[in-house]
Chain A
Amino acid sequence: MSASRASTEGFQHEAMFYRGAAGFLAGTIPFLREGVAKGEAILVFESSAKIDMLRSELGDDARSVEFADMAAVGANPARIIPAWVDFVSRHSGGGRGMRGIGEPIWKERTADQLIECQRHESLLNVAFSNGEPWYLLCPYDTEALPPEVIEEAGRSHKYVSDGHAHNHSSSFRGPDASGAPFDAPLPEPAGPIRELKFTAEDLYGMRAIVRQFATDSVLPAALADDLVTAVNEVATNSLRHGGGEGHLRIWREPDKVSCEISDGGRIANPLVDRERPGADIRASRGLWLANQLCDLIQIRTLSSGTVVRLHMWRPK
């Protein structure tokens, strides 16, 4: 590819590497103006500071662009794909092109969040590769982010650019492999772990343990309730799909309370936790609900079975 952007192919997923505010604007403003000129539907998920920058630079053109705060939409990165799915389904079939900007990774992301943001970037290829054509530009701040994050962006995006030249990413893992690059075991928690094996009759006691542990860890009651509800749903999945029993571990770290449910089941659909449940009353809703209630969910299907971690940040 060259400086001109093709928009006839399917899902165009491009990592845009930039340096500083000037580099950010140099890469995003022409992209947005091109979309405005073509009358496309445009949605931007960015930090509020960057939204302010874009608005002021775009002037009147900003009225043709929809903005939303990535800190809110992407607080849990698993909620970003459903937001893009909503955008695409709102505008598809209307004859207008579609484009977006989404920057899910910034330097304050914790290690757990970062890996799930990277998983999210890869899963975008699974979610959109066979659907409507649209163009998603993902800015990466090369001054703030470590080199391995920039390298992974090359693997999760079909295209890379520096804001001027656009190229195929030679390291792109491809849409087919984008669903399962993260089946490495999660890091072992440091510090004491409370654990128990459970079957259906233990759910009641398990909820009490999780609630107590969460409140002892100074989670406010509403968040403790959210965690209990989410853990119960994931544990219920173990009972129904994971062999009728499971294993709970719970621990706290300085910034969060974490619960882990493991069982002998296998999850085949990499988007299982981020597909908005449809009208069918029988459709599974547990993992979707967990993602709406918790700050971060990590799902891994390993040779030994499935592991789901649920994290809740402790108030600062």
Chain B
Amino acid sequence: MTLYADSQLTISSGGPACFTLSGEVDAWNVAAVTETLARHLPPGDVSLDLSDLSFADVETIRALVSLADGMGEGRRIVIRGLPSRLRRVLELVGWSNLPRFVYESGEPAA
């Protein structure tokens, strides 16, 4: 089910706690992304599939961290398909070990 779409990004849900981001997130649409995700957050951990996320800026990561911080104690964002480009950015800005992020299938940020 499509939860959000604009000219450069689609957010769809593949289950109650699983979201897929396809396309590009930047300063123009990052607020809409976090609003959409916040509106559909279930209790417990959330899974984000980023394998088709072709671009995301530093602010996007920051927004996802804020979203996770707002989810409450002990809840995490499980990231699937972290693109190598985004992994490189996380590493370079010192965000390899963000406490709220878990990487699926043994793919840590660094």
Binding site for B on A (CB under 8 A): 200-201, 203-204, 207, 225, 228-229, 232-233, 236, 239-240, 276-277, 281-282, 285-286, 288-289, 292-293
Task: Tell me the bound Cα distance from A239 to B93 in angstroms.
Answer: 20
Interchain residue pairs with CB less than 8 A apart (7): A203-B28, A228-B55, A236-B58, A240-B27, A281-B66, A282-B62, A288-B92
One of A236, A276, A285 near B27 (C-beta < 8 A): A236
Inside 8 A of A276's CB, which chain B residues have their CB?
Answer: 94
Would you give the shortest CB distance from B110 to chain A, in whole angstroms? Answer: 13
Q: Which of chain B's residues has its CB closest to A276's CB?
A: B94
Per DSSP, are chain B's interface residues mostly helix, strand or loop, or mixed?
mixed
In the complex, number of A-B residue pairs with CB atoms less than 8 Å apart? 51
B93 near A236 with CB under 8 A, answer no
Taken together as a complex, chains A and B put the C-alpha atoms of A228 and B26 apart, in Å, by 12
- Contacts A201-B28, A203-B26, A204-B28 known; A236 to B59 CB distance under 8 Å? yes
CA–CA, A207 to B92, complex, Å? Answer: 20
> B residues within 8 A CB of A282?
62
A108 to chain B, nearest CB (A): 27
For residue A83, give the distance in angstroms from its CB to the closest CB of chain B: 15
- A203 CA to B55 CA in the complex, in Å? 11
Known: A277-B93, A292-B92. A286 touches B58 (CB 8 A): yes
Establish whether residues B93 and A288, one from each chain, have CB atoms under 8 Å apart when the complex forms: yes
Interface residues of B in 28-58 (CB under 8 A from A): 28, 55, 57-58
Chain A residues with CB under 8 A of B62: 281-282
Can you name the residue of chain A whose Cβ is closest to the Cβ of B98?
A281
B93 touches A281 (CB 8 A): no
Given contacts A201-B28, A240-B27, A289-B89, contact A233 B58 (CB under 8 A): yes
Q: Are B92 and A200 in contact (CB under 8 A)?
A: no
Do A232 and B57 contact each other (CB < 8 Å), given the known contacts A200-B27, A203-B27, A281-B62? yes
When distances are taken between beta carbons in the complex, the residues of chain B under 8 Å from A293 are: 92
Map CB proximity to A onto B59-99 as digits: 1 under 8 Å, 0 otherwise: 10010011000000000000000000100010011100000
- The residue of chain A having its C-beta at the shortest distance from the C-beta of B24 within the complex is A204
Asked if A289 and B58 sit within 8 Å, CB to CB, the answer is: yes
B9: nearest residue on chain A (CB-CB)? A204
B26 touches which one: A236, A285, A286, A292 (CB < 8 A)? A236
Best-surrounded residue of B8, B24, B27 (most CB of chain A within 10 A): B27
List 9 extra interface pairs beyond A207-B55, A285-B58, CB under 8 A.
A204-B28, A229-B89, A232-B57, A236-B57, A276-B94, A277-B93, A282-B62, A286-B58, A289-B89
Contact A229 B28, CB 8 Å, known A281-B66, A282-B62: no
| A201: nearest chain-B partner, CB-CB | B28
A279 to chain B, nearest CB (A): 8
- Chain B residues within 8 Å of A281, by CB: 62, 65-66
Residues of A within 8 Å of B7, CB to CB, are 204
Given A200-B28, A281-B66, A282-B62, are A229 and B93 neighbors across the interface (CB < 8 Å)?
no
Take A233-B57, A285-B93, A289-B92 as given contacts and tell me if A204 and B8 are in contact as well, using a CB distance cutoff of 8 Å: yes
| Chain B hits for A277, CB < 8 A | 93-94
- Closest approach, in angstroms, between the C-beta of A202 and any C-beta of chain B? 8
Task: Please name the residue on chain B nearest to A282 by beta carbon.
Answer: B62
User: Bound complex: CA of A293 vs CA of B91, how far in Å?
Assistant: 12
B93:A289 contact, CB within 8 angstroms: yes
Chain A minimum-CB-distance residue to B7: A204
Which of B24, B26, B85 contacts A225 (CB under 8 A)?
A: B85
Please pick, from B26, B85, B89, B93, the residue contacting A204 in the complex, using a CB distance under 8 A.
B26
CA distance in complex: A293, B58 (Å):
13
Interface centre among A277, A282, A285 (most CB of B within 10 A): A285
Collect the chain B residues with CB atoms within 8 Å of residue A236's CB. 26-27, 57-59
Q: Could you tell me the distance between the alpha carbons of A63 and B55 in the complex, rounded to whole angstroms?
A: 46
In Å, the complex CA distance between A295 and B30 comes to 28
